Chains A and B, each alone.
Chain A
């Protein structure tokens, strides 16, 4: 019988209104590298949060057996004491402290209440040697690159005598050299007997390193494949990840496609936190009137970054490239410029960036187009009210009145307010980032209908979405983005989930 270090069975986790995990099973053998694959939102991270005690025992159903004992973790401390360490995609290091201090943070090497610095730095140096990090233990963490910070995290995990190391998208922010080094390190740890679970979108890495793969889709375990016995290819994993049929959740739409309205060429954006890293790399896009274009990409591919850098440089540094509006080159330096050139961007994080939640509907609707509603600085409140009333009706916003506070509306109705706000600026190009995130099915259909109507009015719509079926059901043409580069452009007729997923997981050659 195989020795399983971890067995999770029947895990069901419900959030208000959503079943994030449903009867999930995960078995990890001792000393293997186990990959978990699934689309964005499939439930991978939720599962790892259940395992590590972020969602404490009792808030989910099901059982966890870890290392021969029942795992009933009340918090991260409990799971760490049992030997489970999770390294999140966003690294959890304290940037102004040294490498050694970070490694022993919360676990200080102390004698009679005072920190023993010699021992701290000596033991840190030993751990750093184990993970192949050649730096001085007293170097401040913010002075080393992300790749090395990742190694600090692993050294920190080793200092806690980890038995099961979980890495969430460990290579998403790394360049090729750092990724290769990290994968080698994981193999080394496996040989030392440490079990690893990695969550990754990069299927080439998964096939290269994992001993087995569990595929999760829509909050359920689909299958667990053994790399040695099953002939596992990237295709095999992809079909497991996407395998579901499209039904008629999308209103029918016959596009009337007109002239080109927006074109970007050679668009390159650098990360503001790591100025050397290109988040968007030489991207080119063309949008035409009346057309709904999709932008597909996995998390971290640079979709939002592309959109926001285009929308008045609200993201990124060192932005270069050319933008053409109706064939003429334009410069967009601020959000006001973008609005003036007829570009609108509805953000993926509606609550934080898209709305003023403590204000009412009419003030949110008018916010981006106030100049059109006012004369010499004075807002025409009657006009504002009339405009808000019009959208209240035409967008079917379910609220008692236009004076209702936006924060109290449902997600779907909030999104309608966001769309109303942008439609009021009379845009030629609408960039909609995850327009149906956190919206229930009925409201989604309404949003799709609105998007179709916007296209029929002769506007170009760019839809960014993590849900491939949504893009396939809605868009006339789909671009795929991977690691900041446009890896494909597929017309609706030729698009399938498998084909898009291939393009989206295509690494740099």
Chain B
């Protein structure tokens, strides 16, 4: 079966179904929220989801690259924390300006990713182990900088962070949302229109066959971890906009949120299929769960985790059904 018919005989290729399901889920949640809660069904609620989760979105983009090759990156949360810490300490202590600090942070994150990617490729070690080590390393480095939260008081930085970009009709977004959108578009372009993107999908589809087709599998693997490192560092910068502080306990467990977003977005954990648009939807679904719970008011925030847990189960089952059908 190549296709799945949905209503009126319209056929959707099987690979788009998970993304479509996530999309429908998002719409359904929004409609339910709109019926239940006063003031929920407004454009700003959706935009707030973007504003509150811009950093997660950027991190999840990097994670999508890695998972598409069939790998995993557990270090992203720690790299985010390390980035907030480096930014805050350099701006607070020696008083370096943001336009020096931010590129430096991005460089450190990419460098860490490059190192992990190289270890994965050169020594053929499971990405799980390498990035687990990277996770501990980056988290540990945070505490060598400081064990307390460091506030960011740099004037340019705070001004930029608090900028409101007004859209039409009272709607607004933050600069972080613009940055995240640019990252998403650039990443989608790379994945779908470049040789690197092809190599990413081919490596995840079947590493051995990609090797025998002469595709640069090794270089691709190093590249995706570097991209993920860069995205984590950028996510860290966006998180410092949001928090206006650097702290070693920022973004604890964020790697799991990112993985959850990617999986809910329909990307197979074994690699090879998935879309960046799905990841965006995945992040939105996670964000919307939080919003609904905050509208509900009486439920504790741990309910978020329970819903994410249930959703993940549902999506993994869904993926299982599809892959089972593909390999009879």
Contact = CB atoms under 8 A, between A and B. Distances in A.
Contacts of A336: 214, 216
Contacts of B194: 374, 377-379
B210 to A, nearest CB: 7
Given A356-B202, A359-B205, A370-B195, A312 B2 contact: no
A140 interface: no
A358 B193 contact: no
B104 interface: no
B243 interface: no
| Dominant SS among interface residues on chain B | helix
A404 B15 CA distance: 11
A156 interface: no
Interface string B234-273: 0000000000000000000000000000000000000011
B214 A312 contact: yes
Contacts of A334: 214
B56 to A, nearest CB: 27
A57 to B, nearest CB: 24
A358 B196 contact: no
Residue in B193, B194, B195, B208 with the greatest tally of chain A CB atoms within 10 Å: B195
Given A370-B195, A374-B195, A404-B2, A339 B209 contact: no
Contacts of A408: 2
A359 B326 CA distance: 12
Nearest to A368: B213
Interface string A336-379: 10110000010100001111111100010011101100100111
A234 B264 CA distance: 63
B212 interface: yes
B212 A356 contact: no
B5 interface: no
Nearest to B217: A335
A56 interface: no
Nearest to A350: B209
Contacts of B205: 356-359
Interface size class of A (residues with CB under 8 A): 35 or more
Interface string B185-213: 00000000111111001100110111111
A312 B208 CA distance: 13
A59 interface: no
Interface in A365-404: 366-368, 370-371, 374, 377-379, 381, 400, 403-404
A300 interface: no
Contacts of B198: 363, 366-367, 370, 379
Contact of A379 (B193, B212, B215): B193
Contacts of A443: none
B326 A358 contact: yes
Contacts of B273: 358
A407 interface: yes
A367 B208 contact: no
B209 A368 contact: no
A314 interface: yes
B215 A367 contact: yes
Interface of B: 2, 13-15, 193-198, 201-202, 205-206, 208-216, 272-273, 326-327
17 contacts: A335-B212, A335-B214, A345-B212, A353-B212, A354-B212, A356-B202, A357-B205, A363-B198, A363-B202, A367-B210, A370-B195, A370-B215, A371-B195, A379-B195, A379-B197, A381-B193, A405-B13
Counting from the closest, the 9 A-B pairs by CB-CB distance are A356-B205, A335-B214, A368-B213, A367-B213, A339-B214, A353-B209, A358-B272, A336-B214, A370-B195
